[in-house]
Structure 1
Amino acid sequence: MCYTCMGICETGAPQVMGRGFDRYMWIDPAICTGCGACAANCPSNAICAGGSTDMQLEIMIQDMLSPGRAGRGE
């Protein structure tokens, strides 16, 4: 594991689970925005960005419509 996704994700959705040889990367769907930055920057293409859930889409829409967010929806 290279942990590139953990460094690139603004929400901290990628998390390491398990120990030793049983470690694996898990994307927390509750905080993932579905932006795809982790998949786009994964050097081994180990992350496949699927479709966004309804909750993720709703959060993205609310974020874009929120006034006063630098670089977002202004």
Structure 2
Amino acid sequence: MSALTIRDVPDDQIQTLKIRAAQVGKSLQAYFLDLIARETSKPTLAEMVERLNRETTASISTDEVLAAIDAARTGR
């Protein structure tokens, strides 16, 4: 596992993070690990768009769609 150093974090932000960590009963390190885990488990917008394009792209022609509609209407 790697170590991570963040420089030049304003004191007020550090204080806020310490308070939030304490409110959930965690050390600052554990709180940050949870934040990082949550952030990295969510797909980015670009990843979601790519996934949606991949999953919603149909390789079916208009004629095939119309034929399926006609077949469904005939079967009523």
TM-score normalised by the chain length of structure 2:
0.24
User: Counting strand residues as a fraction of each chain, which structure ranks higher?
Assistant: 1
The structure whose RCO (Cα within 8 Å, separation 6+) is larger is 1
User: Counting helix residues as a fraction of each chain, which structure ranks higher?
Assistant: 2
Larger Rg: 2
